[in-house]
Amino acid sequence: MQHTLAAGPGAEPGTDTVLAERRGPVLVLTLNRPDRLNAWTYALEDRYFDLLDQAEADPDVRAVVLTGAGRGFCAGADLDDLAAVGNADAAALDATLAALPARSRPRTRPLELRKPLIAAINGAAAGLGLVEALYCDIRFAAPAAKLTTAFARRGLIAEYGIAWLLPRLVGPSRATDLLLSSRVVRGEEALTMGLVDFVVEPDRLLDAAVAYATELAEQCSPWSMHMIKQQVQRGLDSSFPAAVADADALMLEGFRRPDVREGVASYLEHRAPAFPPLEPQ
């Protein structure tokens, strides 16, 4: 069922900058500025993050899929906004930056989502658009999808933590290549280097991502998935002994929870599990 929710402050007249649609336990979010290849704006960011907050609080939503309307996933920051900054002198730049709306949530908000977040990259993902795809846990892409860091070709630096994320996905040498050259990588090459996890034909892309998310939602414990996401993030900066100690502590915590009992019982009884939802934050 399609949910029509009020547009956030500063949204373009007559539009929702991000659409929300429930497909069973999965919430599909669609960046919705197709005439601009879903270029990123503050209004779009606020709307997206509001919907993530709602998904976080809704026990019936167990996974989220992010995609783009039209031909693009997200072409990065809106070039009109970049031009306004790039053409300003020092005083005007200071005034422009001072006038920007205060962020109530960090741009890395998607990384904090406790539920699985899956990208269905249907077209161009450039600059900040690629960063947002990398903030997702799993990435599906169409064969013709164009992925590029773009920053060096716009006179920018590696923004929003991509210099940390990218080497951990594809290795330091490939990450440096992608960041320095800003060359375009299409779906199959992205799959080969580990930048995306699945390549699916465009007419099946969203359905495949939703099917994957549905399997997580119906077969896996929300608490387990939340803990595993945290373990993976912590493990990127910890030693192996620290990761083992972390796992040992969490394993003891898990044995006290109903999830383990339900996971074992459902397996022995040959039925689908009925795991409890995440506790409210």
Q: What is the mean pLDDT of each run of 10 residues along the chain (281 residues)?
A: 40 74 98 97 96 97 98 91 56 56 85 98 98 98 98 95 97 98 98 98 98 98 98 94 96 95 97 96 84
In CATH, the architecture of 221-268 is Orthogonal Bundle (1.10)
Structural element, H or E, at residue 3 = strand 2-3
Q: What integer pLDDT is reported at residue 6 of this predicted model?
A: 39
Q: What is the pTM of this model?
A: 0.89
Q: What integer pLDDT is reported at residue 2 of this predicted model?
A: 42
Strand pairing report for 63-68 and 124-126: unpaired
Query: What distance in Å separates the CA atoms of residue 51 and residue 54, rounded to the nearest whole number?
Result: 5
How does pLDDT run across 55-79, given as a tens digit for each residue? Answer: 999 999 999 999 999 999 999 998 7
Query: What distance in Å separates the CA atoms of residue 198 and residue 261, rounded to the nearest whole number?
Result: 32
Query: What distance in Å separates the CA atoms of residue 145 and residue 124, rounded to the nearest whole number?
Result: 6
Q: What integer pLDDT is reported at residue 86 of this predicted model?
A: 52
| 22: its two tokens | 């429930």
Contacts of 41 (CB under 8 A, 6+ apart): 10, 17, 33, 78, 81
The backbone torsions φ and ψ at residue 75, rounded to the nearest 5 degrees and listed phi first, read -85, 10
Q: Where does the chain hold its CATH 1.10.12 domain(s)?
A: 221-268
How does pLDDT run across 187-211, given as a tens digit for each residue? Answer: 999 999 999 999 999 999 999 999 9
Q: Are 66 and 132 in contact (CB under 8 A)?
A: yes
Class of the 2-218 domain? Answer: alpha beta
Q: Quick one: 243 exposed, middle or buried, by C-beta within 10 A (0-12, 13-18, 19+)?
A: middle
Structural element, H or E, at residue 84 = helix 79-86
End-to-end CA distance of the chain: 27
Q: What integer pLDDT is reported at residue 104 of this predicted model?
A: 78
Cite the beta strand spans of 195-239 per DSSP E: 198-199
Least Cα distance to 52 among 64, 43, 42, 41 occurs for 64
Q: Where does the chain hold its CATH 3.90.226.10 domain(s)?
A: 2-218
